[in-house]
Structure 1
Amino acid sequence: MDMPVNVPVDDPNADTEWNDILRKHGIIPEKPPSPTPIIEEAILEAQRRAHENRLEDKDLDELDALEDEEDEAFLEQYRKKRIAEISTLQKASIYNQVYPLQKTDYAREVTEASSNAYVLVNLTSSMGGNTESRVLSEIWRQLAGKYGEIKFCEIRADMCIEGYPERNTPTILAYKDGEIRKQFVTLRELKGVRTKIEDVEKVLVELGAVKEGDLRLRKRSESDEEEDNSQEADDGDDDDWD
């Protein structure tokens, strides 16, 4: 009767002649494939896709500036794509302002209108001392001019809902297809009085009202970065005079 043999193995995954013999006779399992080629292939694929999509975030002016660096036919594809995107936005851009609301018009101007577009309502403070309300009203004005396909509305909270608490203003209500999809009671969930336009833009992206790759988002981010750098430089200059 054959007795099982206990074969000492220091490292079953080591590339040794002894291990090869053991694998050949089925004493130890075959060595699993190395993950290195798979990882290298994934890296190369990611690099290939990044190269193919290198113009995805370029606007028309930036594409024109690359005429001496890129293949003309390749550039032309993206030019046509950008022109089509601009045309689509222009056709959808029908609001472009903040619409003041009356309670009697709320159903028509908001609930019903949300069947055709995203509608965002700002329930503002009835008192002039609410800083967050003033901040959001200014952001509303900027957003309305930038995203004309979205309807931005504004109404005093106490005119919309009798007895609405002043401490809950401003309140943001986001409508689509007759339903409230998101709401913010004050700007506490954003950045309070430090809330900026890009903070609300993130909400628009989360809602699906603005596409994540929309070039208008990138332009704003670059502008903000330049402002921040400028401010830091000014602060540094002030320090030199201390």
Structure 2
Amino acid sequence: MQVEVNPNEDTEWNDILRQHGIIPEKPKDPEPLIQEALIEAAQRAHDNRLEDKDVDELDALEDEEDEEFLQQYRQKRLAELNTLQHTSLFNQVYPLQKVDYAREVTDASNSAFVFVNLTAQGANVESRVLTELWRQMAAKFGDIKFCEIRADMCIEGYPEKNTPTILVYKDTEIKRQLITLRELNGPRTKIEDLEKLLIDLGAVKESDVRLKKRSDSMEAGDDELNVEDYDDDWD
């Protein structure tokens, strides 16, 4: 007569069978591990609750947080701002000429990320959009060099349908190339799309304080672009 054994039962007989490897060990209850993970996540969230606060916001929390704890974050924010101030060397879009490309782009990428916009003149909407965003990005991320050159002045016969083209250089190598804004958000591309690109490439850290705050004027500029205000630097 064959006796059926339920291996999941907590019985003395099953314990003996498990000791001899006749039935597998009872699966561990996942709940304690899940509970532990949730507790750890809650603790990390509490410990990092000030990570996205700037100096003014930290000052506003004086009545709610321990002063010594706040002071640590104030010093951290001030150090970050000081570093940004000293590394913000560019803060403008650099118009390129082909003869200067190697020096201004390839060589310059040894010390900073260099983003190049191969643009088009005329009625190419995406080129107009990116040119305006390029100016905003250059002003916001001064430690990254943003350059622009008309595509057909850089590469003879470069088709306008492939513009704008973004080339990203670091350490003399092209790290990324995007042909048109299709991989971002097309003609509706905004600052946030380009900031995500910076993060993905490691050009800025996800914790970068500049990603946390955006001025009202810049947000308004992202929502609507007047292409008639476009200035063609390549005439």
- Which residue in 2 is equivalent to 1:67? 62
What displacement does 1:30 show? 5.0
- Which residue in 1 is equivalent to 2:12? 21
- Which residue in 2 is equivalent to 1:6? 2
Count of equivalent residues:
217
Compare 91-100 and 162-171 and name the one that shifted more. Answer: 162-171
What displacement does 1:34 show? 1.9
Q: Taking CA–CA contacts closer than 8 Å with sequence separation of 6 or more, which of the two structures ends up with the larger relative contact order? A: 2
Change (3 A) 1:6 1:62: same
Determine helix, strand or coil for the equivalent of 1:77: helix
| Contact 1:120 1:173 (C-alpha < 8 Å) held by counterparts | yes
Determine helix, strand or coil for the equivalent of 1:219: coil
- Which residue in 2 is equivalent to 1:112? 107
Change (3 A) 1:175 1:13: same
Change (3 A) 1:182 1:25: closer
Structure 1 gap segments, 5+ residues each: 232-242
Equivalent residue runs for 1:118-157 within 5 Å? 118-125=113-120, 127-157=121-151
What displacement does 1:215 show? 2.2
| 1:98 counterpart (80, 85, 93) | 93
- Which residue in 2 is equivalent to 1:184? 178
Q: Residue type of the partner of 1:6?
A: Q
What displacement does 1:87 show? 0.6
Distance of 1:198 and 1:219 partners within structure 2:
12
Superposed CA offset, 1:196-241 (max 9, x none): 1111111111111111111222224x969x86xx99xxxxxxxxxx
Percent identity between the aligned chains? Answer: 67
Distance of 1:176 and 1:24 partners within structure 2:
61
Distance of 2:170 and 2:16 partners within structure 1:
67
What displacement does 1:29 show? 5.1
Does 1:196 find its partner at 2:187? no
| Contact 1:23 1:30 (C-alpha < 8 Å) held by counterparts | no
Determine helix, strand or coil for the equivalent of 1:25: helix
TM-score, normalised by the number of residues in structure 2: 0.86
Q: Residue type of the partner of 1:137?
A: T
Structure 2 gap segments, 5+ residues each: 225-235
Equivalent residue runs for 1:202-241 within 5 Å? 202-220=196-214
- Which residue in 2 is equivalent to 1:165? 159
What displacement does 1:24 show? 4.2
| Contact 2:7 2:14 (C-alpha < 8 Å) held by counterparts | no
What displacement does 1:63 show? 0.7
TM-score, normalised by the number of residues in structure 1: 0.83
Equivalent residue runs for 1:81-96 within 5 Å? 81-96=76-91
Does 1:48 find its partner at 2:38? no
Q: CA RMSD in A?
A: 2.2
Larger Rg: 1
